[in-house]
Amino acid sequence: MKNKKDKNLLEMMCGGEKLSFFQEIELIVTLSIPTILAQISSILMQYIDASMVGRLGEENSAAVGLVSSTTWLFGGLCMAAGTGFTVQIAKLTGAKQHRKARNIVKLALICVLLFSLLLLLTGAALSSQLPEMLGGDKSIRKKASVYFLIFTLSLPILALNYVSAGMLQCSGNMKIPGILEIVMCFLDVIFNYILIFPSSSVELFSFKFIIYGAGLGIFGAALGTALAELITTVLLLYFLLVKSDLLKIRKEEKFVFYRKDLITAFKIALPVGIEQIITCGAYIAFTAIVSPLGTTAIAANSFSITAESLCYMPGYGIGAAATTIIGQCIGSKRYDLTKQLGWLTALFGIAVMTLSGFAMYIFSPQMIAILTADANIRTLGVQILRIEAFAEPMYGASIVSSGIFRGAGDTAVPSILTFVSMWLVRIPLAFVLSKNYGLQGVWLAMCIELCVRGALFLVFLSTRFAKRAQSGKYVIN
């Protein structure tokens, strides 16, 4: 499952061997690349989805954009539920307690599935009233409601996808989840094209072909993504439970419920869940601030968020690698490396995000043009993307630092810092600046907040994390 070089470097680290500076850099880069590619492919999938929806007109784009912040909230809660178990997998793998790690896998799948079913029921009950609660125009409420309902029904699939990929990654296997993420992108494009658009004829080399389509519009986009996730999740579970050398099911090992493992998972996952609620709650408030600015502003905001995601997703890939590295460092009691690898990973994330921010500033017209043909949306989208480009380096600092803290199981810090920056900086600033500067003012507030957030994370990385890592206070629960 693992690249030989990745495996050797991880084993050297966990086995107590000394790593040279260049080997540490190589470990970070080789573990980050598969997840960076996976995250980029995931955003490309959303990019293509948004582009397809954009061809359906402004109202359809606005309907999807209206509920997008709420879909992030529910998806984020699914991710948070799995984090409590994936961090334990990283530490137990580093400590070579593989049998206990396999027991955690079984517990994780049961708990995450049950939690996602609760979210499904909650989302289904909320779907009919949500667009009105968010201040959406009456013309888009029904479409937004049905779109959100379809998304909600796919939550168990999404939750199992997140936790399966996370456990494989935290065991050191970054390649398989990365490959399957890319596969999911291709499937999503195919399914969405078939389900969104009606049947049409295509001419190629003087030959005419009929491409059959369901013509379901934005509802086809939600269904297509759910189908792609379903196939990928089945494959992830296969590689986790059947093919993984470390985590696959052994017939002779019966599942044993340990209350302590569940409590540990809850303690890790709760702050992550709170962070998701804080973040997505702020996104919902952010959407509520944008909504009165008009349909064009809503669509430009939605498309620009999708476009920006292409630039910051490499940070999330590096953050996932950081969680694996720090978790296994602590599990193997390599406290001598924990602080150093944490800082190297954070600096690598800042460097990559600086480059992506520069690219976003230069290529923002092309990025928006792919998503929509509307000239007004394009103009507005380019303006706000170029404002946001200046925040990318510090955004990278916060994303990767969050991954470092999660690898240590210290998930309260990201939650607290996110609350401070989102609710005490972004939302008040966005509300004030929107009055005189419209959507540009809203995105200026976002840029300022992300810079503040990055600075806060770096301060805590150099103080709390550094001290606890060196003293060995981060231990296996």
Give the pair of three-digit tokens for residue 242: 């059947």
Give the domain ranges of the chain: 4-471
Tokens 């507030």 belong to which residue?
Answer: 445
CA 345/CA 334 separation, integer angstroms: 16
List all residues 6 or more positions away from 436 whose beta carbon is below 8 Å from its beta carbon.
none
In sequence order, what DSSP letters do the residues of 90-136 get, joined into one string? HHHHHTT-HHHHHHHHHHHHHHHHHHHHHHHHHHHHHTTTHHHHTT-
What angle separates helix 155-170 from helix 295-331, to the nearest 10 degrees? 40
Contact (Cβ atoms closer than 8 angstroms) between residue 371 and residue 290 = no
To which H or E segment does residue 212 belong?
A: strand 207-214
pLDDT tens series, the chain, 477 aa: 444 444 477 777 777 788 888 888 888 888 888 878 877 777 676 667 667 776 777 777 778 877 877 888 888 889 889 998 999 999 898 888 999 999 999 999 999 999 999 999 999 999 988 888 877 778 888 888 998 999 999 999 999 999 999 999 988 888 899 899 889 888 988 898 889 888 776 666 667 777 777 888 888 888 998 999 999 999 999 999 999 999 999 989 999 999 999 999 999 999 988 988 888 788 778 878 988 888 888 888 888 887 888 788 888 889 988 998 998 888 888 887 888 899 999 999 999 999 999 999 999 999 888 877 888 889 999 999 999 999 999 999 999 999 999 888 888 889 999 999 999 999 999 999 999 999 999 999 999 999 999 999 999 999 888 788 777 677 655
